[in-house]
Amino acid sequence: MSLPRPLDPIRSIKMKIGLLVAGAGAAALAYFRIRLGWLPTQTSLIAIGVGIVTSQILAHGMTRPLRQMTAAARVMARGDYSQRVRATSRDEVGELAQAFNTMAADLEAADQQRRELIANVSHELRTPISALRAVLENVVDGVAEPDPATMRTALSQTERLGRLVSELLDLSRVDAGVTPLHREYFELSPMLDEVVAEAEVSGRDARFVLDVRPGKVFADRARLHQVIWNLLDNAMRHGPQGGEIVIVSRPVGDGGVVIEVRDQGPGIAPADRERVFERFTRGERAGGGTGLGLAIARWVIDLHGGEISVVDPAGIRLVLPGSPG
């Protein structure tokens, strides 16, 4: 960092390379003159000139990717992330070009995700807000009475909004790296009963079957509750009306546990089984949603050091390890 950088004021890297060749050649000729006491001036100047011209010709191909990256970066600053540069050389400039292309691809994917987030969230917000507005307008206009059934409809739409906001808050915590876990040993069966009880009063028509062996799990109870709820919500949305949802739990290994949630829906295509855990990806199954539920589930399971995967038929499997101690 403390070494001098005398060529920094020069704006062209080709000019810098030319000056480098000229300076190196002049230094070499000066050494010969000092040691030999004689040097052919015309021949020396011609040699330096040939070296400079040759360096400029070769430097054109060396600096071309740099010029392309500069032009591409200016276009990307205006929002076009489709720009790529040719990365065929194997030197540092080639590595820089490859890194630039990787960065451009990541930015393009992030921009696409941002657009999908806006579209998905806008759609998900519009539906409950429109339904809630219709209910309230009917009550205000006297078309409907504020009876328990009407209020339950309004409440369900409000709860739907609350779940969406919670998912977005969790997503912001993921991006911010704020991911604390409060692990403890607790009986898994009562917690699964609680989640199923919440799902049964959610207003969706589904039958729940619990096949749970007694046992404790070492995990963050609130986070695991959230994961199971997301899986049940996903199963209710993608399963048939009045279909059966099976929750299976088995102890494995040294204090670990396997949990599966299966529905009677069409399942997830093999090509989508990894993508379905990515943000804003909803796969090919119908039912709407923001595509955040399974992404958040994967985030929580990864924090626990476990695994989450798609299994046949139409199921999601969680594998949680035992206590690290």
Would you state the structure tokens that stand for residue 160, as one six-digit string?
A: 């739907």
Residue range 284-322, pLDDT digits in tens: 443 445 556 787 788 888 888 899 998 887 789 999 987
pTM exceeds 0.75, yes or no: no
DSSP conformation letters of 48-109: HHHHHHHHHHHHHHHHHHHHHHHHHHHHHTTT-----------SHHHHHHHHHHHHHHHHHH
Q: What angle, 0 to 180 degrees and rounded to 10, lies between the N-to-C axes of helices 188-200 and 221-238? A: 40
Which sign does the torsion angle of CA 212, 217, 223, 227 carry?
negative
Closest by Cα among 67, 47, 63, 71 to 14: 63
Domain boundaries, the chain: 13-80, 112-176, 183-320
- Which pair of structure tokens corresponds to residue 189? 């069966």
Asked if residue 282 has pLDDT above 60, the reply is no
Domains 112-176 and 183-320 alike in fold: no
In angstroms, the CA 193 to CA 186 distance is 13
Indicate the fold that domain 183-320 takes in CATH.
Answer: Heat Shock Protein 90 (3.30.565)
CATH code at 112-176:
1.10.287.130
Question: Per-residue pLDDT tens for 158-180?
Answer: 877 787 777 677 666 666 666 67
